[in-house]
């Protein structure tokens, strides 16, 4: 399960990198830039959730 979580985090980082390449800072809220911002925000949420899951699993193992 730990490797699966790390894989999801890695894929989220890859999506952030791909989406950062599509950003147009002149028109940040239009077209592909808006979609890229949404993908970046969603990927950051996924990373935060996976880190919370890793920490909670570590705490659960210490108390079990």
Tokens of 40: 């970046």
Q: What is the DSSP letter of 31?
A: T
Single pTM value for the model = 0.89
State how far the Cα of 24 lies from the Cα of 48, in Å rounded to an integer. Answer: 26
State how far the Cα of 12 lies from the Cα of 48, in Å rounded to an integer. Answer: 10
Q: Where residue 34 falls among pLDDT bands split at 50, 70, 90?
A: very high
Tokens of 46: 């996924």
Q: How many helices (H) and strands (E) does the chain have?
A: 2, 0
Q: Where residue 26 falls among pLDDT bands split at 50, 70, 90?
A: very high
Q: What is the pLDDT of residue 53?
A: 97
Q: Where residue 39 falls among pLDDT bands split at 50, 70, 90?
A: very high
Q: What is the mean pLDDT of residues 29-48?
A: 96
């Amino acid at each position: 399960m730990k490797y699966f979580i790390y894989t999801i985090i890695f894929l989220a980082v890859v999506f952030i990198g791909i989406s950062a390449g599509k950003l147009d800072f002149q028109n940040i809220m239009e077209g592909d830039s808006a979609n890229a911002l949404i993908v970046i925000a969603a990927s950051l949420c996924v990373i935060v959730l996976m880190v919370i899951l890793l920490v909670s699993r570590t705490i659960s193992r210490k108390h079990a």
